[in-house]
Amino acid sequence: MPTFSGLELLIFDLDGTLVNSQFDLQDAVNDALKKLNREPIHATQITGMLGGGIGRLIELALGLSANEETRRLAMTYFKDYYSRHFADKTRPYPGVRETLEALSPYKKAVLSNKVHAYTVGIIRKNELEPYFDLVLGAQPDLYGLKPDPGGLAYILDKLDIAPEKAMMIGDSTHDIEAAQAIGLKTCAVTYGYRSAELLQKAGPDLIIDEMSQLADALRGDF
């Protein structure tokens, strides 16, 4: 079991890591599909579509045969619905709030591929804002989407933390790959939107099955 002494900063993914947002996303996608006279997607389908940003979600929901105009309309419908309902059903996973409390000695940040305004809104509506020093969603003018490590580098610079003193916690291979690219420690969570087998192949430093295990691992008790 690796040790994690010397860590100063913990960077968390949002969807599938801190909060379960799949139901609001599914509702927004299905609203768009209904307006386009297409069949809805089900809960078993959407989890595999998440993690690559809204554009990728729309592409997968429509199918590769959809033309540019259809994708544009779907995105418009999706954004209209989601902007009004992005936190209706989205809630923190069990143990998240308690774990963030237990990790108070560390600096903490959020980095999501979700649109920045929605990322900030979900954190705020779920009253998680006080736990974080920085909350960032997708801002293409500043950095690329994960697995591009630009967002992580931006956070390290803003909070003046060296890469070897930070850890990325996420449910996607995108999170692990972005962190590994610039030398961060990595923790994969198996309760999100990717299988434990897939995450294991990415080679994270730590794998946990529930958020409370993160605090145990950082204390050396896991």
120: domain CATH number is 3.40.50.1000
pLDDT cut 70: percent of the chain above it: 99
When divided into structural domains, the chain yields a total of 2
Q: Is the pTM of this model over 0.75?
A: yes
Could you tell me if 54 and 75 are in contact, meaning their C-beta atoms sit under 8 angstroms apart? yes
What average pLDDT does range 167-193 have in this prediction?
A: 97
Coil, strand, or helix at residue 92?
strand
pLDDT value at residue 186: 98
Same domain, 205 and 104: yes
Active site residue ranges: 13
Same domain, 66 and 175: no
3-state secondary structure the chain: CCCCCCCCEEEECCECCCEECHHHHHHHHHHHHHHCCCCCCCHHHHHHHCCCCHHHHHHHHHCCCCCHHHHHHHHHHHHHHHHHHCCCCCEECCCHHHHHHHCCCCEEEEEEEEEHHHHHHHHHHCCCHHHCCEEEEECCCCCCCCCCCHHHHHHHHHHCCCHHHEEEEECCHHHHHHHHHCCCEEEEECCCCCCHHHHHHCCCCEEECCCHHHHHHHHCCC
Of the pLDDT bands very low, low, confident and very high (cuts 50, 70, 90), residue 53 is confident
Q: Name the average pLDDT for the chain.
A: 95
Supply the range of the domain harboring residue 100: 9-20+92-219
Domain boundary among 56, 85, 114: 85
What average pLDDT does range 7-21 have in this prediction?
A: 97
pLDDT value at residue 222: 67
51 pLDDT exceeds 70? yes
Amino acid identity for residue 195 in this structure: S
pLDDT value at residue 47: 87
101 pLDDT exceeds 80? yes
Same domain, 121 and 187: yes
Write down the number of H helices and E strands in the chain: 10, 8
pLDDT value at residue 142: 97
Position 120 in a domain: yes
pLDDT value at residue 3: 75
Same domain, 68 and 96: no
Residues 85-99 pLDDT 10s: 999 999 999 999 999
What average pLDDT does range 65-82 have in this prediction?
A: 96
CA distances in angstroms from 205 to 86, 112, 146, 158, 201, listed in the order given: 32, 20, 18, 24, 11
Residues 142-163 pLDDT 10s: 999 999 999 999 999 999 999 9
Same domain, 32 and 105: no
Same domain, 111 and 211: yes
Same domain, 77 and 135: no
Of the pLDDT bands very low, low, confident and very high (cuts 50, 70, 90), residue 48 is confident
1 pLDDT exceeds 80? no
Domain boundary among 85, 100, 116: 85
Domain boundary among 85, 100, 129: 85
135 pLDDT exceeds 90? yes
